[in-house]
Amino acid sequence: MVDVDDKVKSLVSSELYDRYDRLLLQHYLDTMPDVVYCPRPGCQCAVLTDDSMATCSNCSYVFCIYCRMAYHGISPCRITAGQ
């Protein structure tokens, strides 16, 4: 049985395949409920969440997953306070 990725790779240029691969990964990350993106300009790395906070493995920014500001610990998030 032929792997779909191998079939795509054999049909398109390496540049187009790289784009396809990046977009496929981004699609999977976008559909995962425990993944957010680092809000720092120039970073935008995919980050796994831990309850209401996330720590970027690329730039070490620790942020609230709701308001995307620096993590505020036990203080209530102003975004979720009205919910």
**pLDDT at position 40:** 96
Residues 56, 58, 60, CA angle at the centre, nearest 5°? Answer: 50
- Please write the tens of the pLDDT for every residue from 56-77: 999 999 999 999 999 998 888 8
List the domain boundaries for the chain.
1-31, 33-83
φ and ψ at residue 49, rounded to 5 degrees: -90, 155
- Please write the tens of the pLDDT for every residue from 44-57: 999 999 888 999 99
Stated pTM of the model:
0.72
HEC per residue, 34-62 = CEEECCCCCCCCEEEEECCEEECCCCCCE
- Please write the tens of the pLDDT for every residue from 7-49: 888 888 999 999 999 999 999 999 999 999 999 999 999 999 9
Residue count of the chain: 83
